[in-house]
Amino acid sequence: MKTDFDVIIIGGGVVGSAVARELSRYKLGIAVLEKELDVVNGTSGHNTGLLHSGALYEKNSLKMICSMEGNADFDRVAEELDVPFKRCGKLVVGFGDEERERLEKLYQKGLDNGVPGLRMIDHAELKSIEPSADGDFALVVPTAGILCPFTYTIALAENAAMNGAKYFFDHAATGIDRTGDHYTVHTAKGDFTGRWVINCAGLFAYQVSKWLGFGAYEPARVKGEYIILDKRVGKHLIRPVYPTPNIYGDFDVHVTPTIDGNVLVGPTIENIGDKIDYSATQDMIDVLARDGLKMFDYVKREHYIRNYAGVFPTVKNEKGEVEPDFCIQTREDIPNAVNLVGINSPGLTSSLPIARRVVEKIKAQEKLIPNESFDPVRRGIERFAEKSKAEQAELIASDADYGEIFCRCECVTKAEIKKAAHNILGVSTVTGIKYRTRATMGRCQGGYCQTRIAALLQQELGQKKNEIRLKTTGGYMFTGDVK
Ligand SMILES: Cc1cc2nc3c(=O)[nH]c(=O)nc-3n(C[C@H](O)[C@H](O)[C@H](O)COP(=O)(O)OP(=O)(O)OC[C@H]3O[C@@H](n4cnc5c(N)ncnc54)[C@H](O)[C@@H]3O)c2cc1C
């Protein structure tokens, strides 16, 4: 196995994969070291999936600049990478004079940042465009959108891999040594050497930052919990509906339609310090149920299908202050390293602009030779459920596996599961199949298809039963046979 590369990227989430994809435009040997078994097991797979507009952020901050750039570019990117995306806009609703004052401030900030199309509307217009939302008035943010964060991250990674980047899963970096401008990155599976190291480690970027010598950031993480509502209520919500920012400038619980037709209620906001905690708690479910109902009439127990949580990789700097902006750092005394810290929201929206800035930093040090065979286009797995009856019949005629439904709730066929099992990244977990096909994401949450998927993985990849993992390194699904 080759372990000497031009660039070693630590962390293969949406940011690491965007960096890998942008660097694969050049003739470079690129390694992505990822401690998990897939690219969406970190924050990139635990968020809202909103394409932010840039209205919220401080003028000329990296968050503002990168999110606006990412937003403006996204129709093209979604087309190029085959990522489900809808520019549906977003509403921020308010009641009473105090909220009007706060919402007007946000409106002015957005105008000042140059966010196109913002406008205030009254109750009647709000009701006419979003009947299930309520408010005395609302701010319309037409450039916001919704995307599939799983598909987007996977698409960036697959496109990077198509263009030559190598992904190493279950490869946690455990330390870094530098000799001159050459690095050795240690993992439990051996050392990797490279001329450049890019820190894209998300929630653990503070640790990599210390190894590289960029500074002693400390995690000051924030957890957000969600409820996912059944698709049958999805038709009642056209666009995300947010309440007016609270007095601290944060958005309390909001509702967001997903690109696949569910509705997300959340996130809550809870400081958890240096912990990583993805648990769903009754206290927060109660908060989501109470506050979500103010935004959307259908936040009712009978529509809940699942809970999840995400953790924002917020950090404190050496002065003990929370870093408000993305940090994209290089230093003369730490040659050939780019340090990304504090990449919290809107990191999904900003991933490609962040990646382009990383490339610029490398280009400032050395001449990069274009990779003439670079292909920016990546196609995903065709979705049987989204085809017309005639197209479905054609697919079945071409491959009988399209005629066998594996996931009944989401109408995912055996043919799609087989394609997902042979993904270019070599991801082989049951959850990896879920993120690539939507199998197990429906109302029964895998009750019907999860074990069938496990059996197919054995057949397709030659895995033994006791090698099948649900999602994580130690997450083995079976210990043996029963009679
Ligand atoms: C609740 C919530 C909602 C959000 N909503 C939105 C939104 O709607 N829109 C938006 O634009 N942004 C949103 N964000 C922000 C966005 O999700 C993140 O900014 C983005 O996913 C960060 O990507 P990343 O690649 O830096 O992190 P990650 O996806 O966490 O990737 C980092 C990777 O590094 C790996 N890693 C860590 N340490 C090591 C190591 N030592 N060796 C090897 N690998 C390592 C991890 O396993 C992980 O896969 C939200 C965030 C949260 C928490």
pLDDT classification of 250: cutoffs 50, 70, 90: confident
User: Within 10 Å of residue 60's Cβ, how many Cβ atoms?
Assistant: 10
Any atom of ligand 1 within 6 Å of the Cβ of 347: yes
Cβ 56 under 6 angstroms from ligand 1: no
The tens digit of pLDDT for each residue in 166-221 reads 999 999 999 999 998 899 999 999 999 999 999 999 999 999 999 999 988 999 99
pLDDT for residue 367 is more than 80: yes
Phi–psi pair at 2, nearest 5 degrees: -70, 130
| 17 CA to centre of ligand 1 in angstroms | 11
Average pLDDT over residues 269-298: 94
Could you tell which of 47, 185, 425 is best to mutate to test the pocket of ligand 1, judged by most ligand atoms within 8 Å of the CB?
47
Annotated catalytic residues are 52
Do the Cβ atoms of 298 and 229 come closer than 8 Å?
A: yes
pLDDT exceeds 80 at position 483:
no
CA angle at 155 for the pair 263 and 457, rounded to the nearest 5°: 85
Kindly state if the Cβ of 54 falls inside 6 Å of ligand 1.
Answer: no
What phi and psi values does residue 168 have, to the nearest 5 degrees? -120, 100
Asked if pLDDT for residue 410 goes beyond 80, the answer is: yes
- Please tell me the CATH code under which domain 385-467 is placed: 1.10.10.1100
Q: How far is the CA of 19 from the centre of ligand 1 (A)?
A: 13
Q: Residue 444 has what pLDDT? A: 92
**Ligand 1 contact via 44 beta carbon (within 6 Å):** yes
Ligand 1 center from residue 458 Cα (angstroms) = 30
pLDDT value of position 104: 97
pLDDT beyond 80 at 27? yes
How far does CA 259 lie from the centroid of its chain?
13
- Residue nearest (by alpha carbon) to ligand 1 atom 48: 42
Is 167 exposed, middle or buried, given 0-12, 13-18 or 19+ CB atoms closer than 10 A?
Answer: buried
Among 167, 312, 345, name the best residue to mutate to test ligand 1's pocket (greatest count of ligand atoms within 8 A of Cβ).
Answer: 345
| pLDDT of 24 higher than 80 | yes
Q: Which fold has domain 1-84+148-216+321-380?
A: FAD/NAD(P)-binding domain (3.50.50)
Mean pLDDT of all residues in 402-408: 96
Tallying the residues shown for the chain, one arrives at: 483
Predicted confidence (pLDDT) per residue in 416-426, tens digit = 999 999 999 99
Q: Give residue 248's pLDDT.
A: 85
123 CA to centre of ligand 1 in angstroms: 37
The answer to whether 292 and 227 have CB atoms below 8 angstroms apart is yes
440: alpha, beta or left? (left if phi > 0; alpha if psi -120 to 50)? left
Distance from C-alpha of 64 to C-alpha of 56, rounded to nearest angstrom: 8
Any ligand 1 atom below 6 A from CB of 36: yes
* 3-state SS record for 22-75: HHCCECCCEEEECCCCCCCCCHHHCCCCEECCCCCCCCCCHHHHHHHHHHHHHH
- Tokens linked to 342: 């504090």
Closest CA to 111 of 75, 140, 91: 140
* C-alpha to C-alpha distances, 475 to 37, 173, 429, 455, nearest whole angstrom: 10, 20, 9, 16
User: How far, in Å, is the centroid of ligand 1 from the Cα of 26?
Assistant: 25
First vs last C-alpha separation in the chain: 41
Atom of ligand 1 nearest to the CA of 340: 26
Architecture of the structural domain at 90-142+221-313:
2-Layer Sandwich (3.30)
pLDDT computed for residue 181 by the predictor: 80
Residue 404 has pLDDT above 90, yes or no: yes
Please tell me the predicted confidence (pLDDT) of residue 365: 95
pLDDT at 162 over 80: yes
pLDDT, mean of residues 34-46: 98
Number of the ligand 1 atom closest to the C-alpha atom of 309: 1
CA dist 70 and 92 (Å) reads 21
Nearest CA-CA partner of 260 in 420, 83, 80, 433 = 83
Answer whether 267 contacts ligand 1 (Cβ < 6 A): yes
Rg (CA), the chain: 23
Distances, alpha carbon 115 to alpha carbons 94, 177, 243, 248, 392, in Å = 20, 44, 19, 22, 41
pLDDT band at 2 (very low <50, low <70, confident <90, very high): confident
Domain ranges, ordered by start, for the chain: 1-84+148-216+321-380, 90-142+221-313, 385-467
- Is any atom of ligand 1 closer than 6 Å to the C-beta of 346? yes
Summarised one tens digit per residue, pLDDT across range 214-244 is 988 999 999 999 999 999 999 999 999 999 9
For the cut 90, the answer to whether the pLDDT of residue 101 exceeds it is yes
CB 225 near ligand 1, within 6 Å: no
Between the CA of 41 and the centroid of ligand 1 the distance, in Å, is 9
Indicate whether residue 429 lines ligand 1 (CB < 6 A): no
d(CA 439, CA 417): 8
Q: For the residues 105-131, what does the mean pLDDT come to?
A: 97
